[in-house]
Structure 1
């Protein structure tokens, strides 16, 4: 059995790590390079760096900050935000990213996933999906532009289409759960893991160490991502891994 991964996430806005609730009301957390170095010391399995305002501001991701972060970490680094072309992917991979995450641009043009997978390999291409439950249609709907804009795409179908296009991994954030600390969206990840056969990272809602145990016990996700509980020192990576080991979950 593959070891489950624990992944902290840096949501970066103009060179500073920010965190909000349900994608709004962002507060400043600190310097991404310092925070990345701390997670390296704690033994995080991977790190996700998302430039959360790049797409909305129609600019590229901040390469110099990514280079500085990459110099501090030896774990795999996934970078997303402001990726519109294979050239953008190449720029980030050259800056030190191991994987690139595409979201809004992939919704606009799914061929971007295929082009990236053909050039760099599917293992390099992460499809990031921002999901929100729509009670009227009784389905999970895909949002783009940093969670600002709804699409007519069904999350489960889009996940299948993205994998068919060449995505080697999915990073799926529950907007309903984001920043609420009320636990991961279990039904969402149960549906996703039943639908696709690539690794899935669960994101959004982690508030306590038991939430990690629950998501690994009740779904087949490969990794769990959290931000605020790690940023504010409510949990540490070693604490989480120790608890998971005691619960019989295989971790690194």
Structure 2
């Protein structure tokens, strides 16, 4: 069995790491470059960097910040926000990222997934999915809808269908973010995570809601996610990456121990 990955997430706005609840009320909490170095030294398996307003502001990603973060860490680094073309992907990869995450742009242009996979390999292409729980309908049979532009626009696209379609198009990984759980620290959206994880053959990263190591155990061991994104529970110093990994290791979840 492959080790489960623990992945801190840096949501960046105006050059600062920021955190909100359900995509609202964001407050700045630190310098992304210093935080990236801290998490690398703590034993994080990967790092995710999202320029959270690039898509809604219709601007390119903050490539200088990406480059500076990449210079501080020696673990896989995934970058998303404002990536609309293969050239945007190339720029991010040349700046030091190992993976690019596409979200809103891929919904608007699904061919971007296959174009990126062809140019750089499936392993480089992560589909970011921002998902909201809605009433089950003929259009949204799973009861989960894709929302884009930082939670601003409902697309009418069923989340389960989109996950399968993205895999078919060549995505190598899915980062599955529950808007309902985001920032609440009340636990991941287990039903959503299990449904997607059991329906695709590519790794699924659970995102949104981590507040206690038990939440990571639930999503990794019970909902079958391959990795778990964390933010608030470590950004605010409630837990460390080491404490989380030690807890999971004691519960029988295989994780990478580096100390």
Q: Does 1:235 align with 2:235?
A: no
CA distance in 2, matches of 1:207, 1:219: 16
For structure 1, list consecutive stretches of 5 or more residues without a partner in the other structure: none
Give matches, 1:10-89, under 5 Å.
Answer: 10-89=10-89
Cα displacement (A) at 1:34? 0.4
| Residue number among 203, 207, 211 corresponding to 2:207 in the alignment | 203
Match of 2:172 in 1: 168
Tell me which of 216, 227, 245 is aligned to 2:249.
245
* TM-score (normalizing by structure 2): 0.96
In structure 2, distance between residues paired with 1:230 and 1:5: 15
Separation in 2 of the partners of 1:171 and 1:136?
A: 22
> Could you give the per-residue CA deviations for residues 75-127 of structure 1, whole angstroms, max 9, x where no partner exists?
10000000010000000000001000000000001000000000000000000
SS at match of 1:184: coil
Q: Deviations over 1:158-205 (max 9, x none)?
A: 000001000000001000000111101010011101210100000000
**Alignment TM-score, normalising by the size of structure 1:** 0.99
Give distance in 2, aligned partners of 1:218 and 1:140.
20
The answer as to 2:214 corresponding to 1:216 is: no
Residues 121-143 of structure 1 show CA distances to partners (whole Å, capped at 9, x for unaligned) of 00000000000000253610000
1:98 matched residue in structure 2: 98
Output the CA distance in 2 between the equivalents of 1:194 and 1:209: 23
Superposition CA RMSD, Å: 0.8
Give the structure 2 partner of residue 142 of structure 1. Answer: 146
Instruction: Give the length in aligned residue pairs.
Output: 252
CA shift at 1:31, angstroms?
0.5
Query: What stretches of structure 2 of length at least 5 have no aligned partner?
Result: none
2:185 and 2:131 mapped to 1: Cα distance? 17
